[in-house]
């Protein structure tokens, strides 16, 4: 049997999960953009989901540029960008991007996600947290665990899918334990 591409594998694994699942997606760095394509272009499009993409890894504009190159429509994608502001960059802000001043302002991340969910109350949502590793650079484990616990339970109660990206190269024991605690499923991609 032919091996699935990364986008197809991500989409297939997410599609097999019940609504409102919280998933820890363990990736290798070289699978990053393919995994995003799988989540957004395939899974979210197929399920007709509104995507709220929380990025603390790279600026939303870089992801938007990659999406443009991959010809992915951003009509139903909204960004909560926690990194552009602390980079003090003068980059033009995309209308689908909301800035949080710093990845340490975890409550404000929750508030922006809530705001975006309220903007589209009639559509189901996929919330992507990219990534637990970059958030762990700026926050200690205790506050990060508390944040995930509240956020994931809130999203679950609202019927939204949550995907928490974890880069395998930067995973620690603490991060793995945290993800086990809050997620319903752990998805690891093949080589």
Partner 1 sequence: MPTKEHDAGERERCVTGIDAIDHILNGGIPRGNTVLVSGSVGTGKTSICIEFLIRGALEGENSLYLSVTEPTDKLLKNVIPFDFFDERLSKQGKLQFVDLPKIYEELGIDKEDMDFKEARLLASRIASIVEEQKIRRLVLDSVTSVCYRIKDQERIRDFLLRLGTVLSAKGCTSLLVSEIRSTEEGYSRWGVEEALADGVIVTGNLERRGDLLRTLQIVKMRGTSHSRAKYVLDLTTSGVLLVPLLKGGSVAGGG
Question: Would you count residue 108 as binding partner 1 (CB under 8 A)?
Answer: yes
Ramachandran region of residue 81, left (φ > 0), alpha (ψ -120 to 50) or beta? beta
- Regarding 146 and contact with partner 1 (CB under 8 A), the answer is yes
How far, in Å, CA of 141 to CA of 89, rounded? 28
Question: Using CB under 8 A, which of 3, 95, 142, 191 touches partner 1?
Answer: 142
Provide the β-strand partners of residue 75: none
Q: What are the distances in angstroms from CA 143 to CA 8, 17, 85?
A: 34, 28, 21
Q: What distance in Å separates the CA atoms of residue 185 and residue 48, rounded to the nearest whole number?
A: 22
CB 173 within 8 A of CB 141: no
Can residue 112 be called a binding residue for partner 1 (CB under 8 A)? yes
Taking the complex as a whole, the smallest distance from the CB of residue 116 to partner 1 amounts, in Å, to 9
118 near partner 1, judged by CB under 8 A: yes
Which residue from 12, 46, 73, 115 is in contact with partner 1, where contact means CB under 8 A? 115
State which of residues 111, 156, 158, 171 lies at the interface with partner 1 (CB under 8 A).
111
Separation between Cα atoms, residue 133 and residue 168, nearest integer Å: 9
- Contact flag: residue 88 with partner 1 (CB under 8 A): no
Select from 56-64, 100-108, 123-131, 161-169 the region that touches partner 1 (CB under 8 A): 100-108
Site string for partner 1, 151-190 (x = CB under 8 A): ----------------------------------------
140 contacts partner 1 (rule: CB under 8 A): yes
Tokens in use for 188?
């690891």
Q: Which helix (H) or strand (E) element contains residue 113?
A: helix 106-119
Q: Which residues sit at the interface with partner 1, rule CB under 8 A?
A: 101-102, 104-108, 110-112, 114-115, 118-119, 139-140, 142-147, 150
């Amino acid at each position: 049997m032919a091996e699935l591409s990364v986008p197809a594998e991500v989409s297939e694994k997410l599609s097999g999960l019940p609504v409102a699942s919280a998933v820890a997606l363990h990736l290798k760095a070289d699978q990053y953009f393919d995994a995003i394509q799988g989540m957004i272009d395939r899974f979210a499009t197929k399920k007709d989901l509104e995507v709220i993409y929380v990025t603390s890894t790279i600026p939303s504009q870089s992801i938007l540029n990659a999406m443009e190159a991959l010809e992915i429509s951003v009509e139903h994608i909204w960004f909560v960008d926690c990194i552009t502001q602390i980079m003090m960059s003068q980059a033009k802000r995309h209308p689908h991007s909301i800035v949080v001043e710093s990845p340490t302002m975890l409550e404000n991340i929750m508030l922006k996600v809530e705001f975006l969910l309220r903007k589209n109350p009639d559509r189901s949502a996929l919330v992507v947290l990219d990534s637990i590793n970059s958030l762990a650079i700026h926050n200690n484990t205790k506050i990060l665990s508390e944040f995930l616990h509240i956020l994931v339970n809130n999203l679950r109660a609202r019927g939204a899918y949550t995907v928490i990206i974890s880069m395998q190269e930067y995973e620690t024991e603490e991060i793995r334990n945290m993800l086990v605690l809050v997620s319903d499923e752990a998805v690891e991609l093949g080589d």
